[in-house]
Amino acid sequence: MKNRISIVFIFVAIVGFSQTKKDTITTNNQQQNAAQTILNNTISKGLTIGGYGQVDYNQEESNNGTLDIHRMIILIGYKFNDKVQFVSEIEYEHVKEVFVEQLFLNYGLSDNMNLRAGLMLVPMGIINEYHEPTVFNGVERPSMDKSIVPSTWREIGVGISGRIDNANMRYQAYVFNGFSSVNGSKVLGGANGLRNGRQKGAESTINTPNFSGKIDFYGIQGLRLGFSGYFGRTQAADEVDKRDGADVGISMLGLDARYTHQRFSARGQFVHAAISDTKAYNIANNADLGSALQGWYLEAAYNLLSPTKEQRLVAFTRYETYDTHASVDESISKNLAYDRKELTFGLSYHIAPGAVVKADYQLKDNALPGVQVANQLNFGLGFWF
């Protein structure tokens, strides 16, 4: 608890001593996501169409490689007037699966405040909102963002977003439906944390609303700091929501930072999720859900080409550690295989704004003695328009 209070105090102190700045991280490092691109369209009325996607090659040591059209996304937006806009993302994964990743209406209450409702991304960390392949290094998204956050995490809800110019802040606050306690045949567990519980807007169950909020601070040139929180309980269907072990409580906190200066950029992220009532849940569902999930990563990158060139050749390295059994209750034993570490290093060659070719290598390990985890080679193509 003391560590969390210290983080909040430091964040408030930075805000208090800053001066009003333009949000430079968006323009300098192309850190603008697909939804914001649609919403920032300057046309007075009409249709916006775009897309992004990636093609991957992955090969674990001693295994054959796999080729995959990992995702292809179609962006469709419509501006009804100066106040009302529609945003959607339709995603095709692995050629055979179709999902709706976002679908919401945005109503401008004022220049600095918007009301939103529909299927929206939960604002936690960096990648969940900024997951387009041209705005992150590495062929694959950071692993902790798959198991702990977990991207792409979206649910149906309503709330507000906007900015406070004098405080150099952007803010978001939403009420969502939560993770499903039991999602078909899938339960929450140690292997991938809360990931199996994502309802994704598909006939979602809701019996208790969940709160999500985030503040982004950009008062220092080239720097963006984010502080996010998510609080609530998982959702259970009518026939099981009164049973012992039907749901668990979730309190998740995240801190992230992005910095860019000329050819250098860096980012980092920390997320901690405290899970309550796991003993009853694990017994009722034969599960191994941890009572705490935690992870962090640090990444540094440098553009090897002149900043005057349109093309960029970015060398990067990222170290991450994440544990979906950071703590466990007495109903299960801690699985050291879920305490994982990865070192990823490689190149991102931006051949044009919105088009990138990537290559990286991942050194993987976990805390289980005597077990060697296979390292992995990755190549990829990414685009965004």
The per-residue pLDDT for range 89-106, each reduced to its tens digit, is 999 999 999 999 999 999
Distance CA 23, CA 30 (A): 12
Q: Which is nearest to 357 in space by CA: 383, 377, 331?
A: 383
Q: Model-level pTM? A: 0.90
CA dist 358 to 55, 116, 133, 140, 258, Å?
10, 35, 10, 10, 20
CA distance 200 to 117: 15
**SS percent in the chain: helix, strand, coil, step 5:** 10, 50, 35
Mean pLDDT of 212-227: 96
Query: Residue 12: what pLDDT?
Result: 45
| Residue 250, pLDDT score | 98
348 within domain boundaries: no
pLDDT of residue 334: 97
Looking at the structure of the chain, the number of domains it has is 1
Token pair of 37 as six digits: 């691109």
Specify if 352 maps to a domain. no
Structure-token pair, residue 256 = 């992230």
Residue 19 has pLDDT above 80, yes or no: no
Local confidence band at 13 (pLDDT 50, 70, 90 cut-offs):
very low
pLDDT at 18 over 70: no
Average pLDDT over residues 359-365: 98
280 domain-assigned: yes
Give the CA distances from residue 76 to residues 19, 72, 73, in Å, rounded to whole numbers and listed in that order.
37, 13, 10
Domain CATH code at residue 183: 2.40.160
pLDDT, averaged across the chain: 92
Indicate whether 378 belongs to any domain: no
pLDDT of res. 22: 56
120 vs 30 pLDDT, higher one:
120
Predicted pLDDT of residue 131: 95
What pLDDT band is residue 8 in, cutting at 50, 70 and 90?
A: very low
Local confidence band at 231 (pLDDT 50, 70, 90 cut-offs): very high
Region 113-126: mean pLDDT is 97
Query: Half-sphere exposure of residue 340, counting CA atoms within 13 Å on the CB side?
Result: 24
- d(Cα 273, Cα 104) in Å, to the nearest integer? 27
Residue 163 lies inside a defined structural domain of this protein: yes
325 vs 292: CA distance, rounded Å: 6
Asked whether residue 355 is domain-assigned, the answer is no
Could you list the residue range(s) of the whole structural domain that residue 258 is in? 2-51+73-339
Q: Does residue 146 sit within a domain?
A: yes
Q: What is the mean pLDDT of residues 24-38?
A: 67
Query: What was the pLDDT predicted at 160?
Result: 98
Nearest residue to 232 via CA among 303, 178, 196: 178
Tell me, what DSSP letter sits at residue 235?
A: B
Q: What is the pLDDT of residues 127-184, one digit of tens each?
A: 999 999 999 999 999 999 999 999 999 999 999 999 999 999 999 999 999 999 998 8
Query: Rounded to whole angstroms, how far apart are CA atoms 317 and 160?
Result: 36
Contact 106, 83 (CB under 8 A): no
Q: Is the pLDDT of residue 373 over 70?
A: yes
3-state secondary structure of 345: strand
- Give the mean model confidence (pLDDT) for residues 5-20: 46
Mean pLDDT value across residues 79-88: 96
- What residues have CB less than 8 Å from 8, skipping those under 6 apart? 227
Q: What pLDDT is recorded for position 23?
A: 57
State phi, psi for 295 to the nearest 5 degrees: -165, 160
The 10s digit of each residue's pLDDT in 42-52 is 788 999 999 99
- State yes or no: pLDDT of 25 exceeds 60: no
Cα angle 183, 52, 140 (rounded to 5 degrees) comes to 60
| pLDDT tens column, 301-333 | 999 999 999 999 999 999 999 999 999 999 999
pLDDT category at 21 given cuts 50, 70, 90 is low
Distance, C-alpha 28 to centroid of its chain: 21
Closest by CA position to 295, among listed 161, 192, 158, 221: 192
User: Which residues, 6 or more positions from 356, have their beta carbon under 8 angstroms from its beta carbon?
Assistant: 133, 134, 348, 349, 350, 381, 382, 383
Q: Is residue 56 part of a domain?
A: no
pLDDT reported for residue 241: 84
